[in-house]
Chains A and B, each alone.
Chain A
Amino acid sequence: MNDIILHGVLMDEDTEFSLDEFCYACSSSIKWVVTLVELGALDPVNYQQISLDEQTQWKFSAHSLKRARTAMRLQRDLEINEAGIALALDLLEEIEILESKVQKLSKN
């Protein structure tokens, strides 16, 4: 036990990951990330500006990191293929949106 207080970096809307950092953060291969991008399951923030052969220039948001990590766990644990993952991610996010609507409306 030490008394040092660690200060981290808060990942917010402005945080961007390079492709390499992104792959590290979700312990995945570049190939796997590229597949998910091709399926539209992950959206590099600068996708429009970057041609496919310049993938190393892609930047990812913290939100994409959350999606990628969920994708990784779903694939590992449930043996879902990439297209299935893309669908599951969208549905999970839809559920999240609906739940926050319920949350806003609910009276405990």
Chain B
Amino acid sequence: MDFKDYYQIMGIERDATLEVIKRTYKKLARKYHPDVSKEPDAEVRFKEVGEAYAVLKDPEKRSAYDKFGKDWESGPSSPPPDWDSGFEYRGGQAGGQSHGQSQEDFSDFFESMFGERFGQEFGSNQSGQQRRPNNNRGEDSHAKVTIELEDAYNGATRSITLQSPEIDQQGHVVNKQRTLNIKIPKGVKQGQKIRLSGQGSPGVNGGSSGDLYLELVFNSHAIYRVVQHDVYLDLPITPWESALGATVKVPTPEGSVDLKIAPGTKDGQKLRLKSRGIPTKVPGDLYVVTQIVLPAADTDAAKAIYKKMHDELDFNPRQALGV
């Protein structure tokens, strides 16, 4: 288990005041919030910062951390049995002042230092006043599943493993793992959701289970770009194909097709293959964007051809620049 330097994670001095801690947290939370941030590791950073803040904003936890945290690497792998005897812990947070993550999301390091004692405080992602009261139905839960572009054309089956905190009969929070096999129908779009009835959190006192919403996220593809239900492909062509026209083979997610290039096709021209995008209810289109690639003049024969063009073609691409 790694020691977590909460001060370093937040980029603050060890003697930072509570004001500095709060202010730094708010800035970092905005910067790394997964809904806002474009940083690839935003989610991880956001969690780390949240964990650091949960400890450092609380004077009791902070002083426990300061006292024992620094000996972590040299010390035992768990805190001494009576390590918290000198501290008094207040009960749950005031209602409504909910934290952005459940304790289950925190690191093993946090777990071993602050463990069960804080289970209730951070317990099960309570969102305070937003929670619907007096209802036995289990909560709806949400997860993401990553798929390939090809899956959107052909459909697929994905198995996903979900970790969900549940309260056992003794009232402890336990992490339950379950694996589900999910049919991904064909014709799905980036960000679209699949609802699985009754696969959310179990209800309480005989209430029915909530639903599970699965958000579909496409892996980025080596050659295709996806925009809504349309698919874009850059197609390299030769100068003579561009000038004289040609029929060339073009890959599509459903297999290759022959595409006619008209004489005089320019670089960056968009050719539409109707209904060859993602097969949603109204199918998307596949756009082929031409890219003229020049052959290298790396042989005598190639050089001779370029030289011949130079000699015989009256061509000034800089005419519009007045030179």
Flag A1-39 by CB within 8 Å of B: 1 or 0 each. 111111111111100000000011111110010000000
Most buried by B among A24, A27, A72, A104: A27
Given contacts A6-B182, A10-B188, contact A27 B132 (CB under 8 A): yes
B residues 108-139 near A (Cβ < 8 Å) are 127, 129-132, 137, 139
B225-233, B258-266, B302-310 - the one binding chain A: B225-233
Residues of B within 8 A of A28 (CB): 127, 130, 132
Q: Chain B nearest CB: distance from A11 CB in Å?
A: 4
Q: Are B142 and A69 in contact (CB under 8 A)?
A: yes
Residues of B within 8 A of A104 (CB): 225, 227, 232, 287
Number of interface residues of A (CB under 8 A): 41
Docked pose: A12 CA to B142 CA in angstroms: 17
* Chain B residues with CB below 8 A from A108, complex form: 234
Interface of B, helix, strand, loop or mixed by DSSP: mixed
Query: Chain A residues near B227 (CB, 8 Å)?
Result: 100, 103-104
Say whether A12 contacts B33, CB under 8 Å: no
Chain B contact patch, size range: 35 or more
Q: Is the CB of A6 within 8 A of B130?
A: no
B194 touches A92 (CB 8 A): no
Closest approach, in angstroms, between the C-beta of A24 and any C-beta of chain B? 5
By a CB distance below 8 angstroms, the chain B residues around A23 are 132
Task: Verify A1–B194 contact, CB threshold 8 A.
Answer: no
Interface residues of B in 137-190 (CB under 8 A from A): 137, 139-140, 142, 157, 179-183, 185, 188
Q: Does A29 contact B130, Cβ atoms closer than 8 Å?
A: yes
A27 contact set on B, CB distance < 8 A: 127, 130-132, 139-140
Q: Is B238 close to A, CB under 8 A?
A: no
Inter-chain contacts of B127 with A (CB < 8 A): 27-28, 72, 76
Q: How many A-B residue pairs have CB under 8 A?
A: 116
A107 to B291, CA, bound (A): 9
A12 in contact with B281 (CB, 8 Å): yes
B9 interface residue per 8 A CB criterion: no
Report B-chain residues with C-beta under 8 Å of the C-beta of A62.
192-193
Q: How far is the CA of A23 from the CA of B210 in the complex (A)?
A: 12
Given the contacts A27-B140, A72-B127, A107 and B195 also touching, CB distance less than 8 Å: no
Q: Using a CB-CB cutoff of 8 Å, which residues 45-84 of chain A contact chain B?
A: 62, 65-66, 69-70, 72-74, 76-79
Q: Does B56 contact A (CB under 8 A)?
A: no
Residues of A within 8 A of B33 (CB): 73-74, 77-78
Q: Which of B127, B131, B281 has most A Cβ within 10 Å?
A: B127
With both chains docked as a complex, state the minimum distance between the C-beta of A55 and any C-beta of chain B, in angstroms.
16
Residue from B35, B132, B197 having most chain A Cβ neighbours under 10 A: B35
- A106 pairs with B98, CB closer than 8 A: no
**B78 smallest CB distance to A (angstroms):** 30
Q: What 3 A-B pairs come out closest when comparing CB atoms? A: A77-B100, A8-B194, A8-B196
Offer 9 A-B interface pairs, CB within 8 angstroms, sorted by A.
A1-B179, A2-B179, A7-B183, A9-B197, A11-B192, A74-B36, A92-B36, A104-B227, A107-B289
